[in-house]
Amino acid sequence: MSDVEDFTEEAGLFYERLGLSRTAGRVVGHLLVADDDGADAPGLCAQLSVAKSSMSVALRQLDQAGMVDRFRRRGERRDRYRLTEDVFGRAFRAKMAELDAFQELAAHGLAAVGDDPRRRQRLENMRDMYAFMAERFPALLDEWEATR
């Protein structure tokens, strides 16, 4: 396996841990190291040895997440895909939505344990940490985007 193929596989596993399908993660990895002209679905299927149906699901997932741009070259009938300019910011903002879910989980736990301070401590810490991150991360991303 080449270094690029190793990277693509590593990206697939990495993005799978973040909630994408492994195939979608492999597509991200491939597009990270591809030329700026992007790739079409049949080419991605061939490069990544993936079935057409799996590729269709992965590309739809990436498109819905706003991580890829779909475009056509003049005179061609086939869509091509490339990573959006702000793919990492979009991916991070999507994951930030999960911070609210952590806070809700902590709130359910706090309601379940009642007033016992020993049992509440971890849940309050969880709630407070995720609330802090939910408050601070948007400004941090805005600052990052302003520097770009």
Instruction: Print pLDDT tens along the chain (148 aa).
Output: 789 899 999 999 998 998 889 999 999 999 999 877 889 999 999 999 999 999 999 999 999 888 999 999 999 899 999 999 888 887 777 778 888 889 999 999 999 999 989 889 999 999 999 999 999 998 988 898 898 7
Number of domains, the chain: 2
Q: Which two structure tokens, joined as six digits, stand for 122?
A: 């971890």
Q: Is 15 found in the same domain as 47?
A: yes
CATH number for the domain including 37? Answer: 1.10.10.10
Q: How far apart are CA 140 and CA 28, in angstroms?
A: 24
- Distance set, CA 1 to CA 16, 38, 47, 55, 101 (Å): 21, 22, 12, 21, 40
Domain extent at residue 61: 3-84
Considering the domain architecture, whether residues 20 and 44 belong to the same structural domain is answered as yes
CATH number where 128 lies? 1.10.287
Q: Strand locations in 20-87, DSSP E?
A: 39-40, 68-71, 80-83
Contact 92, 42 (CB under 8 A): no
